[in-house]
Structure 1
Amino acid sequence: MAGMSLGTLFSRLTGFVKWAFMGAVLGFTPIADAYNLAHILPTMIYELILGGILSAVFIPVVVEQLSSPDKEQAWKNISQIVNAALIALGATTLLCWIGSPLLVYIQTLKAGPELRRQVLFFFIFFVPQIILYGLSALAGGILNARDRFMVVALAPVVNNVIVIVALAAYRWVPGFGIIGLALGTTLGVLGQALVQYPSLKKAGWQYHFSIDFKHPSVIKIVKLSLPVLAYVILNQINLTVQNNLAINFQGGVSALQYAFAFYVLPHGLFAVSIGTVLLPGLSGLAVKKDWPRFAGIVEKGIIWSAIVIIPALVIYLTLSLPIVQVLMQRGRFTLQDTRLMATVLSCYSLGLFSFTIYLFLNRVFYSLQDTVTPLALNFVGNASNTIINFALVGLLGIPGLALGHAAAYTIIAGISLWLIKKRLPDIRLGLVSRSLIKITAASLLTGAGAFFLNDLWLRQMGSLGLWPKAGILTGFLSLLILLYLAAAKFFGLTEINEVVLAIKRKMAPESSQK
């Protein structure tokens, strides 16, 4: 687990370097929007065909198969699933190549012909990513089921490094051009997939080439996947609407992409780790009907997530401009781009706690073997997001789309909490509320400090170079962390110690836990 956590951290860091390179090389130019929109499309299609299905149901089925004594038959059954998935992805890739003009048109209804042509150019090179993402996810699913976490966590690093090299070559190597950039981006996904396959052999992988779409393992995956597929379809419809609204503004697609990568960082680094600590035992408690302990874990999940996410939200609100300026503003990424992205990030951050709580409670519903409630919540969330986006984009532009995201997640997080309380009366919302008040108070004190530091930054730091600014920002963030910890101690927020100990225990090597 330590390897997975460190691998995830390294992956996130190289991801930030990639986004910084992308901003410096492409900025918020039309070519940046074309590149980013074309890059979104293969991911959307992969998620629609297989992505959500693999993440939700593939690993449990693999674990179930490998728990049987007949390992050879288990690998044959798993191979049936893999082969069926690859055929579906291969056929989809071919159809997307043939239908690429139509797919691009659907995503660029409001775009001009030149931008649409650029998106189509990139997308033709990016189409193979659909099957490559599938290869990567299938390998990663099997490795995770075999408790081989490190290589799966590090695989995106290979992707990030290859894309960074491609961006650097596009900027500094004469003749590399957009063809080289497009090919390099797809090679990154290929590298992410291939780097995992040597570890499959070590994990005992036995491949069997056989195809039977009526095989029980394939049918089981399909049946389990139907609610997940509906869930993913709703997400993709909402994303298509957002893309068409964003493309009306130069740099709009890129601003949303870059800001969203920053926005999900606290969730990806910390909230996911908290979920990894707390959630594995929920299914067992549900089977035993031990509802008081089950409710206790849900309470902890909400409180522990809030301890990390609420102060992160406040820091994003108050220091988004210095953060974006240090990490992104260079090359073709101008001060105007910084201001737009910082505003978008601030708007996104208003929904960060709601986003985290909604995803946590979603997994709680799944542990209760309830797939209908997450689907219904997702429908409400996407419908709300679309309606709010249409209302706000005309008033606020691109920041309105980020604000719509935040508002939609706030709505469904509130509904999720109400539903889980109805399902689990043992949840002590009074206890949760008292802790949230303490966390909010400590975060607001931290925010006051951050507001003062942001004002100091705006008045004094404009003429400094990158490295002095980076050093000062690091100092600011360190001071704010210390201020938050001191405020939390003052308000008696003892749960901070529980969070630190639990994550340390989870990250420690297994030998030290025995």
Structure 2
Amino acid sequence: MTGGLYRSSNAGHRDGPYDDRHAPPLIDADEARLTVPDTDTVSGGGEVPGAEPPTSTAGNSLIMAAGSLVSRGTGFLRTVVLSAALGTVIGNAYTTAQIFPGLIYDFLLGGILSSVLLPLLVRRRKADADGGQAFTQTLLSLAVLMLAGATVIAVVCAPLLTMTYAGGQSGEYQTLVTRLSYLMLPMIFFTGVSALFSSVLNTRGHFAAPMWTPILNNIIVIVTGGAYLVLYGASKLDPEQMTPGRIALIGGGTLIGVAVQAAGLIPALRKVGFRWKWRFNFRDLGLRELARLGAWMFFYVVANQIGLAVVFSLLNRAAADSGQADDPTGPLMYNNVYLLLMMAHGIIAVSIITALMPRMSAAAADGRLSEIAADLSRGLRTATAALAPVAVVYGVLAAPITVALFRHGAITDEDALATSFVLISAGIALIPFSVSQLFTFANYAMSENKTAALVNAPVVVVRIAIHIACFMLLDAEWVAVGLMAGNGASYLLSAVISATVLRGRIGALGMRDVVTTLLKVLAATAGATLVGVVVTTLLPGDGTPSLMEALLNLAVGGAAIGGTYLALALALRIREITQLLDMVKRKISR
């Protein structure tokens, strides 16, 4: 089939268990029936002007994985440069201020975009005679106005945000956070515009630009951090030593990076035939329905943001209570580790989720629930099998990773090594996080925002309870480790609850195959862990490794872990790994 939707013989039925034995693999670049639904045609078969030819889920996943790999890599380089330039004290303040734009954006658009607007854009793309062009223009017009207004309000309320997230710190520290916020809060507008443009492109089968334009952002911030190092050097400063010039350089450079990222998507929009036009007939959007669906998503986001506020407040208070403003496991290094977790999740799991969202949304619209179950089952197995060796690397090679990445400039040995324990916790949390996200996005595809919100509420309550317990029971230097472990426990709880609820909604998820794959992955993971521990024990660099020793451990230990996992995966016949290798071989041979 060369367009339209693939409909299985049992489409729409949910009776009986899902049989995966004859289903096409998720990672199969040659399987025509895995085309992204409705990105090239509209109802009635007419082609949308400017639309690109359909691409496979695997092809899209590969494009996104490649773009995400470079984007996350350059993103982490920017983190390394900024950490080296700012050190822990100023870095903690910068990290706290940088949280605010994402906070407000998530309240306004973040969750609603993925759970409400993206599925809606897919449906209007299919149903409207113009391929959803007028609807999309109207939606963008409303969103841009909302983002602009929210940005102004957020800038005015910057001191209140500082009090909430950094209330336990000194007055000078809070003043620095507020001053940085004035420059960085306008990122709300550009982040929202960039996300909207990306969604428009994704619904039209164009996945490359949204994955590559963040690299422009990263490059600008890397240059900003480099300029700071050249102009001011790398030294630990107190908040009151940050001059207006230093603040303007760091805060302004971060803002410019996001603005350029948004502007970089405009040529891609023109390429797929979308043109910007102001439309103010907002009633045509079905605002009542959007509000109904968005209300539950807003509840979901509020719960998560309360959890995030608790995390940053506890991290800042732990540093203040210990008398160490430069607590090595404060907001900066905790956030750096979280970015490592998100880098692995983004390269692998997000690539799968983003490619599956349009087809799951289309299947849900047509009542083909068995296909959603099929995609979930295969996505779950593929993400788990691909992320397992990364989790082993994070756990076994935590110290070499943190030394190689973070022990530069104003970051000391103590800072880097303390961070390694947080990374071990993140490695354990990686797979539960990705699995819980896959289930959550399946609910979004079916417009089950209420379900996602109700599942999330008890999970966040449990997470906050664990976080507060860690803060009360652990010494300051271990608080960040406990917080990351609490995240992992809550992600696991979310995955269990979501799987149970989804099974009742769409039928069997092929759990026999899932459990079989998970047991094989667990066996391969155990073998890779054992080999990794033995190899790193024999290598130099115990205690406080030098940079060269850390790099040696990463190269040799990483190769040993990856090679062992791959060999065991092939020996155990983990289908998702063999399919991935087959696809790579075909790509190379071509």
TM-score (norm 2): 0.79
Cα 1:457–1:113, aligned 2, differ >3 Å: closer, same or farther?
farther
Measure the CA separation in 2 of the matches of 1:390 and 1:431.
Answer: 38
- SS of residue paired to 1:37: helix
Q: Does 1:58 align with 2:58?
A: no
- SS of residue paired to 1:71: coil
Equivalence map 1:83-482=2 (5 Å): 83-173=141-231, 177-248=246-317, 249=319, 250-251=327-328, 252-276=330-354, 280-283=358-361, 294-394=372-472, 395=474, 396-423=478-505, 426-457=508-539, 459=541, 464-466=546-548, 469-482=550-563
- Correspondent of 2:106 among 47, 63, 80: 47
Tell me the amino acid that sits aligned with residue 21 of structure 1: V
Query: Over residues 46-65 of structure 1, what are the superposed CA-to-partner deviations in whole Å (9 max), with x where a residue is unaligned?
Result: 11112222232323333444
Preserved contact between residue 291 and residue 426 of structure 1 (Cα < 8 Å): no
Tell me the amino acid that sits aligned with residue 443 of structure 1: T
Preserved contact between residue 170 and residue 178 of structure 1 (Cα < 8 Å): no
Preserved contact between residue 443 and residue 452 of structure 2 (Cα < 8 Å): yes
Cα 1:70–1:305, aligned 2, differ >3 Å: closer, same or farther?
closer
In the TM superposition, residue 483 of structure 1 has moved relative to its aligned partner by 0.8
- Correspondent of 2:139 among 61, 77, 81: 81
Cα 1:112–1:207, aligned 2, differ >3 Å: closer, same or farther?
same
Give the unaligned 5+ runs of structure 2: 1-59, 233-242, 320-326
Query: Over residues 383-406 of structure 1, what are the superposed CA-to-partner deviations in whole Å (9 max), with x where a residue is unaligned?
Result: 111010000123132211111111
Cα 1:418–1:77, aligned 2, differ >3 Å: closer, same or farther?
closer
In the TM superposition, residue 70 of structure 1 has moved relative to its aligned partner by 4.7
Larger mean Cα displacement after TM superposition, 208-217 or 412-421: 208-217
How many equivalent pairs are there? 506
Preserved contact between residue 72 and residue 343 of structure 2 (Cα < 8 Å): yes
Preserved contact between residue 76 and residue 207 of structure 1 (Cα < 8 Å): no
Larger mean Cα displacement after TM superposition, 279-288 or 59-68: 279-288
Preserved contact between residue 81 and residue 217 of structure 1 (Cα < 8 Å): no
Cα 1:7–1:298, aligned 2, differ >3 Å: closer, same or farther?
closer
Tell me the amino acid that sits aligned with residue 199 of structure 1: A
Q: Which residue of 2 aligns with 1:25?
A: 85
Query: Over residues 47-104 of structure 1, what are the superposed CA-to-partner deviations in whole Å (9 max), with x where a residue is unaligned?
Result: 11122222323233334444456539x5443222212112211111111222221222
Equivalence map 1:486-501=2 (5 Å): 486-501=567-582
In the TM superposition, residue 274 of structure 1 has moved relative to its aligned partner by 3.5
Identity over aligned residues, as a percent? 26
Cα 1:10–1:483, aligned 2, differ >3 Å: closer, same or farther?
same
Cα 1:275–1:220, aligned 2, differ >3 Å: closer, same or farther?
same
Measure the CA separation in 1 of the matches of 2:116 and 2:368.
Answer: 25
Larger mean Cα displacement after TM superposition, 485-494 or 288-297: 288-297
Cα 1:166–1:128, aligned 2, differ >3 Å: closer, same or farther?
same
Tell me the amino acid that sits aligned with residue 254 of structure 2: T
Tell me the amino acid that sits aligned with residue 45 of structure 1: I
Q: Which residue of 2 aligns with 1:13?
A: 73
Measure the CA separation in 1 of the matches of 2:117 and 2:386.
Answer: 30
Query: Over residues 273-313 of structure 1, what are the superposed CA-to-partner deviations in whole Å (9 max), with x where a residue is unaligned?
Result: 34456565445555666666654443322222221223322
Cα 1:222–1:497, aligned 2, differ >3 Å: closer, same or farther?
same
- SS of residue paired to 1:347: helix
Query: Over residues 163-217 of structure 1, what are the superposed CA-to-partner deviations in whole Å (9 max), with x where a residue is unaligned?
Result: 1111111111259522211111111111111111233233323333342443335
Preserved contact between residue 401 and residue 550 of structure 2 (Cα < 8 Å): no
Preserved contact between residue 429 and residue 488 of structure 2 (Cα < 8 Å): yes
Larger mean Cα displacement after TM superposition, 94-103 or 438-447: 94-103
Tell me the amino acid that sits aligned with residue 97 of structure 1: V
TM-score (norm 1): 0.90
Larger mean Cα displacement after TM superposition, 204-213 or 271-280: 271-280
Measure the CA separation in 2 of the matches of 1:380 and 1:204.
Answer: 44
Preserved contact between residue 450 and residue 480 of structure 1 (Cα < 8 Å): yes
RMSD value, Cα: 2.7
In the TM superposition, residue 18 of structure 1 has moved relative to its aligned partner by 0.8
Larger mean Cα displacement after TM superposition, 315-324 or 171-180: 171-180
- SS of residue paired to 1:351: helix
In the TM superposition, residue 126 of structure 1 has moved relative to its aligned partner by 0.9
In the TM superposition, residue 463 of structure 1 has moved relative to its aligned partner by 6.3
Tell me the amino acid that sits aligned with residue 246 of structure 1: L
Preserved contact between residue 277 and residue 502 of structure 1 (Cα < 8 Å): no
Query: Over residues 420-439 of structure 1, what are the superposed CA-to-partner deviations in whole Å (9 max), with x where a residue is unaligned?
Result: 34445533434322322221
Larger mean Cα displacement after TM superposition, 414-423 or 393-402: 414-423
Tell me the amino acid that sits aligned with residue 139 of structure 1: F
Tell me the amino acid that sits aligned with residue 558 of structure 2: L
Measure the CA separation in 1 of the matches of 2:505 and 2:290.
Answer: 27
Q: Which residue of 2 aligns with 1:71?
A: 130
